[in-house]
């Protein structure tokens, strides 16, 4: 399949009790009824409403032991796990897409069957505590694809009990959806009415509620997402690098992050920010149009070209954040010509965070675009009373730890990000795994990153000060660092080579 012909499905809403919006212009509407019959009609400028499923089938889940770049390695890992306990049932699940013979985006997951979601959560806890399996690689995954369930659908005066609805535009019409979350789970989270090009698909979410997904051409999606991520008023070299990275990531991760959810990627920070028509420039930006069909590759695979707002001076490895087998190009690298110590060491991490090296993402040396000056990204600080942090931890984890005694980093990654954190309380000691879980548990929204140290005040201690660096997971391209490189007249190729070594620029002719 040619890259220019690829259509992708972006999840806009999911697990919703109700979805409302408007078809702005003429659409062909396909409604699949409960009996499997397809009803097709034309609707022009109509409001619509979909309400929660009438019934839902139970869904089976498993524990992913690893993420492997080859099926052979996945089979070996599964076999080792099954030798530990013969009571488990396991399988190797293929995720991702093979786009062509020379462009393979597949990866493989060795998985242990768990049953229901609650059973999977209990098994995950046991595997982390009672086995020598790599804890950062373990995660809960669905064992099957989306199952359709009936729901109520109303458009204009027409009412249906539908299994699926597809709204297909005629000409260049758009649709609007109400209450689209932006920045899910972060302190800037808000909801907006947003507009989109392409097709609208409505169906039952695998867990509960309803899903709205947008099917559209890859290049149309990129035209919005590049500017949804960072804005259009940035150097061309950066925007071209961002477009190539975003396009590569789509081909590498389609069918992985949301396997079984009924769409390829979501519209928010979890995958890539995509806010539809409102973030599109009036014309195709040259930096985007001139990169059409270009991606990064490594060993005939689309490069999983992750990126984050600010690495804080050093990028992190793939496996430290998501576990499993990390590709060679997502190694840890300084964000500039810097000499960095071993940040897995506590003292080295502390020294690094108290310093402000001349990294590309340090705004003391390379000023940020104006919109990013409202908050600190390179170095930041959060101050809590002991009681305040105890309440946050209980609210976020559901665990009452008692009086908070200590936050103890057990494992750090190459960037200094904490990967396993022990929370010690008077009633309970709790372990947190993975940088995102740590960031969620220690803030009413999210900490900017898990690259931080903890300083204590008082004998209780009475106060906790968290001193940190970077914004996001820190893997791959540092967006603010890449903007600084472009402002220093470095080329797109130079930027991509710095953040994704061992990759090649592939252009489909």
Three-point CA angle 257, 448, 120, nearest 5°: 40
The Cα 238–Cα 4 span in angstroms is 22
Torsion sign, CA atoms 184, 257, 371, 475: positive
Q: How does the average pLDDT of the chain come out, rounded?
A: 91
The Cα 497–Cα 220 span in angstroms is 26
76, containing H or E segment: helix 71-84
Q: What is the pTM of this model?
A: 0.91
How many C-beta atoms lie closer than 10 Å to residue 308's C-beta?
Answer: 24
Distances (CA, A) of 75 to 84, 90, 105, 318, 499: 15, 10, 18, 21, 31
pLDDT 10s digits, 189-240: 788 999 999 999 999 987 778 999 999 999 889 888 887 777 767 899 999 9
Where in the chain are the domains? 3-55+148-289, 61-142, 307-509
- What pLDDT is recorded for position 298? 95
**Chain length of the chain:** 509
Instruction: Look up residue 46 and give its two tokens.
Output: 């109509």
**How do the residues of the chain divide into helix, strand and coil, expressed in percent and rounded to 5?**
25, 35, 40
- What pLDDT is recorded for position 154? 96
Q: Please report, in angstroms and rounded to a whole number, the separation of the first and last CA atoms in the chain.
A: 12
Contact (CB, 8 A) for 455 and 463: no
Instruction: List, as own/partner pairs, every contact residues 195-198 make where C-beta atoms lie below 8 angstroms and the sequence separation is at least 24, other chains included.
Output: 195/24, 195/276, 195/277, 195/278, 196/12, 196/276, 196/277, 197/169, 197/172, 197/276, 197/277, 198/169
The Cα 444–Cα 331 span in angstroms is 31
3-class SS of residue 483: helix
CA dihedral 226, 232, 234, 236 (to 10 degrees): 70
The ranges of the chain with pLDDT < 70 are 1, 54-57, 85-86, 145-148, 185-188, 232, 281-284, 374, 509
- What pLDDT is recorded for position 165? 97
Instruction: Look up residue 97 and give its two tokens.
Output: 């897409």
- What pLDDT is recorded for position 187? 64
- What pLDDT is recorded for position 375? 75
Paired residues of 31 in beta bridges: 39, 165
Residues contacting 121, CB < 8 A, separation 6+: 140
Q: Domain 61-142: give its CATH code.
A: 3.30.70
pLDDT 10s digits, 242-262: 999 999 999 999 988 888 889
Query: What is the chain's alpha carbon radius of gyration, rounded to the nearest angstrom?
Result: 23
3-class SS of residue 374: coil
Closest to 440 measured CA to CA, from 315, 256, 269: 269
The Cα 497–Cα 219 span in angstroms is 23
């Amino acid at each position: 399949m040619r890259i220019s012909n690829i259509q992708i499905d972006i999840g806009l809403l999911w697990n919703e009790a109700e979805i409302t919006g408007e078809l702005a212009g003429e659409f062909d509407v396909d409604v699949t009824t409960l009996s499997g019959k397809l009803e097709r009609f034309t609707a022009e400028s109509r409001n619509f409403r979909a309400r929660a499923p009438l019934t839902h089938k139970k869904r089976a889940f498993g524990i992913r032991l690893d993420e492997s770049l080859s099926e052979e390695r996945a089979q070996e890992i599964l076999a080792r796990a099954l030798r530990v306990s013969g009571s488990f049932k396991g399988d190797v699940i293929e995720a991702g897409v093979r786009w062509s013979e020379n462009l393979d985006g597949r990866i493989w997951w060795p998985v242990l069957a768990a049953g229901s979601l609650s059973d999977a959560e209990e098994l995950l806890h046991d595997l982390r505590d009672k086995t020598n399996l790599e804890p950062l690689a373990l995660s809960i995954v669905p064992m099957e694809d989306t199952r359709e369930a009936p729901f109520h659908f109303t458009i204009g005066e027409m009412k249906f009990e539908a299994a699926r609805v597809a709204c297909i535009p005629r000409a260049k019409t758009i649709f609007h959806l109400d209450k689209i979350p932006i920045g899910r789970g972060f302190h800037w989270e808000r909801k907006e009415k947003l507009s989109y090009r392409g097709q609208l698909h409505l169906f039952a979410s695998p867990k509960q509620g309803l899903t709205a997904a947008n099917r559209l051409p890859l290049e149309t999606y990129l035209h919005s997402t590049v500017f949804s991520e960072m804005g259009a008023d940035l150097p061309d070299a950066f925007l071209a690098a961002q477009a190539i990275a975003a396009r590569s990531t789509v081909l590498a991760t389609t069918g992985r992050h949301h396997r079984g959810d009924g769409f390829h990627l979501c519209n928010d920070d979890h995958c890539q920010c995509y806010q539809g028509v409102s973030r599109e420039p009036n014309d195709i930006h040259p930096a985007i149009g001139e990169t059409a069909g270009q991606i990064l590759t490594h060993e005939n695979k689309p490069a999983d070209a992750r990126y984050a707002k600010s690495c804080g001076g050093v990028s992190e490895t793939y496996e430290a954040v998501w576990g499993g087998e990390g590709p060679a190009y997502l190694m840890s690298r300084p964000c500039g010509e810097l000499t960095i110590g071993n940040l897995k060491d506590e003292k080295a991490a502390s020294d690094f965070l108290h310093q402000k090296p001349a990294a590309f993402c340090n705004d003391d040396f390379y000023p940020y675009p104006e919109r990013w000056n409202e908050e600190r990204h390179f170095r930041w600080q959060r101050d809590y009373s002991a009681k305040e942090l105890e309440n946050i931890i209980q609210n976020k984890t559901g665990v009452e730890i008692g009086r908070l005694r200590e936050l103890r980093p057990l494992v750090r990654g190459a960037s200094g990000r904490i990967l396993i954190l022990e929370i010690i309380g008077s009633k309970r000691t709790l372990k947190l795994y993975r940088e995102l879980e740590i960031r969620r548990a220690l803030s009413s929204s999210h900490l900017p990153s898990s690259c931080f140290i903890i300083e204590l005040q008082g004998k209780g201690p009475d106060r906790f000060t968290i001193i940190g660096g970077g914004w996001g997971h820190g893997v791959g391209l540092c967006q603010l660092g890449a903007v600084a490189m472009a402002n220093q007249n470095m080329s797109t190729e130079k930027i991509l080579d710095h953040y994704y070594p061992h990759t090649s620029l592939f252009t489909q002719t």
